[in-house]
Structure 1
Amino acid sequence: YLSVEKNASPRTLQNYFHSLTRFRQERGKRFSGWDKTEPDDFRDYLFDSMKGGWARSTIRLHFAALRSFYKFLVRRKNLLCNPLADVQLPKAEKKLPVVLTKTQVEELLTLPLSIEHPKQAPHWIGHRDAAILELFYSSGVRLAELAALNMSDFDFFNECVRVFGKGSKERVCPVGSKAAEAIHAYRNQAKVMDGPLFISKLRKRMSARAISNVFKKYHAASGIPQNLSPHKLRHSFATHLLDNGADLRSVQTLLGHSSLSTTQIYTHVSIERMKEVYKKSHPRA
């Protein structure tokens, strides 16, 4: 149902499967069937999850899967009522995303071609890593989207890339001149003309984890103090666009957000930055 009718991504399918399996495992012998589970069973599960130190976002993700499953059972399998309808979840935490300054981004992007690499690494490894970081910041793509890119997805003439996002939704992202130059240099050095865009030293497609490790490697080598992940470059991409006058709808399209409210969190970051500038600059702040 999720795969065919809802066109859910493989990651969503994996997360939902994990959530349903986890609930059954946690209930153990107390689980007597999906049709016999009561609201209090889910409240107990919620309480145990919070007591176990789960993040609110993780709890909400697990319950989203369970709620989706029960909606399916009610609509398609004639289940009389949804036991999750009356279960209240903790509100999502409203945390502002961590954003790098332009100076920090510049420092990070220059590292692959300025540090020494292991002797056993291919001669093109620095160019590949530079292309990865440049493309992350230039296009704002998600980690999984970047890992899935093929050479055929690039339009080098128009400097844009075709991306398949959540739910296999297709969008076209512009690629800045710096990122395009970095990708050209990497292609020429590594002789990558077709197939996966980013390859390992064994010349196979890099996994999302391998690309994440590349990011962590350069973060460790930089002087940036924040705890960072590749997604922070996506946050920085969106915030820097808004800081420089981009409208919210355009940023929503570039990020591939289905809801404008998801994009609006970046406006709060920009407002916070404006307040900082105001406090530092205004004589009566």
Structure 2
Amino acid sequence: MGIQKEQIRSFIEYLQIEKNCSPYTLEFYEKDIDDFVRFMKQQELTSFAAVSHFTVRLYYTHLHEKKYARKTVARKISALRSFFRFLVREVEVEENPFIYAALPKNERQLPKFLYMEELEQLFSVCDLSTPSGQRDQAILEMLYATGMRISECCALRISDVDFFVGTVLVKGKGRKERYIPFGSFAEQALHRYIDQGRRNFLQKASDEHNFLFVNSRGKRLTERGIRYILSKLVEKASLTIKVSPHMLRHTFATHLLNEGADLRSVQELLGHEHLSTTQTYTHVTKEHLQKVYMNHHPRA
């Protein structure tokens, strides 16, 4: 299995360097491929070249027996399809056995978002007299003000923030860059954090860098770190719902559309390649408008 490990490592490096995938995405790719390698051992297959269309059908059955959700099955098959496409490109295998594997259709789930009352509750719990509170407030304000992905937030550098015009340069998927404006609340929170909290944390740093968001040791804050911070803030705010960084992205898009922003502008701000991805939020908006109508129209 030594050759297989080398092939997997080369694929992960390809995703990291050429596709600019986030550590979170890389972790799932590697896990999904490792799961398939364990299945190959059960089938006594010793190389990826030995995997056939029949093997793929057997794997589908295996995943069904494990009672995985359709979304998980779709992710695993998609990961393996990409992996074997890479192996074909590198002339490691002759064909991609996953190329005709149909992905199970996901149940349509509307993006979950926060209402303004819930947001205000979340924004009110940070202790702005402490460095960590100043940083956490700045993270919250930036995620909601820009709708950026958590990986994009972690990659931000001081030089990416332009206070003069009120924009931040975001490096998205596939190394695509976009400028996103931010408002006065985010600006105020950023200034406070940069001038006080961040400066305090950097005193403990062993290496110089210009990453915007740092941990208590002055090192670059990771995606896991931001998720942990957010879960603690939600707990402190006594919110009964689970809030993820991506939920703030959903909230950003939904609130913009609710206030009349056009779909193309929201697509550009979110960094979506296809308009159909952004259109998901219009369903949320319609649902919201229907509730407003039923609750407030005198003859509803």
Fold similarity call, TM over 0.5: yes
1:6-85 equivalence runs, <5 A: 6-11=18-23, 12-30=25-43, 31-74=45-88, 77=91, 81-85=95-99
Q: Which residue of 1 aligns with 2:103?
A: 89
Change (3 A) 1:180 1:18: same
Which of 141, 157, 172 is 2:148 aligned to?
A: 141
1:128 aligns with 2:142: no
The farther-off stretch of 250-259 and 18-27 is 18-27
Question: Quick one: distance in 2 between partners of 1:167 and 1:226?
Answer: 32
Q: Which residue of 1 aligns with 2:166?
A: 159
1:135-284 equivalence runs, <5 A: 135-190=142-197, 192=199, 195-284=210-299
Instruction: Return the offset for 1:239.
Output: 0.2
Instruction: Return the offset for 1:81.
Output: 4.2
The percent identity for this pair of structures is 40
Question: Quick one: distance in 1 between partners of 2:255 and 2:263?
Answer: 12
Question: Quick one: distance in 1 between partners of 2:231 and 2:169?
Answer: 26
Instruction: Return the offset for 1:269.
Output: 0.3
Instruction: Return the offset for 1:217.
Output: 0.8
**TM-score, length basis structure 2:** 0.84
Question: Quick one: distance in 1 between partners of 2:83 and 2:122?
Answer: 43
- CA-based RMSD: 2.4
Counterpart contact for 1:238–1:251, Cα < 8 Å: yes
Question: Quick one: distance in 1 between partners of 2:163 and 2:136?
Answer: 19
Question: Quick one: distance in 1 between partners of 2:16 and 2:296?
Answer: 56
The farther-off stretch of 2-11 and 203-212 is 2-11
Instruction: Return the offset for 1:261.
Output: 1.0
Change (3 A) 1:8 1:15: farther
SS class of match (1:173) = strand
1:99 aligns with 2:110: no
The farther-off stretch of 199-208 and 43-52 is 43-52
Counterpart contact for 2:111–2:250, Cα < 8 Å: yes
* Partner deviation per Cα, 1:200-248 (whole Å, 9 max, x = no partner): 2211111111111111111112242222211111100000000001111
Instruction: Return the offset for 1:147.
Output: 1.3
Question: Quick one: distance in 1 between partners of 2:126 and 2:26?
Answer: 35
Q: Unaligned regions of 5+ residues in structure 2, if any?
A: 1-10, 203-208
Q: Which residue of 1 aligns with 2:6?
A: none
State the aligned residue count. Answer: 278
Change (3 A) 1:129 1:4: closer
Counterpart contact for 1:148–1:196, Cα < 8 Å: yes
Change (3 A) 1:130 1:80: closer
Instruction: Return the offset for 1:52.
Output: 2.2
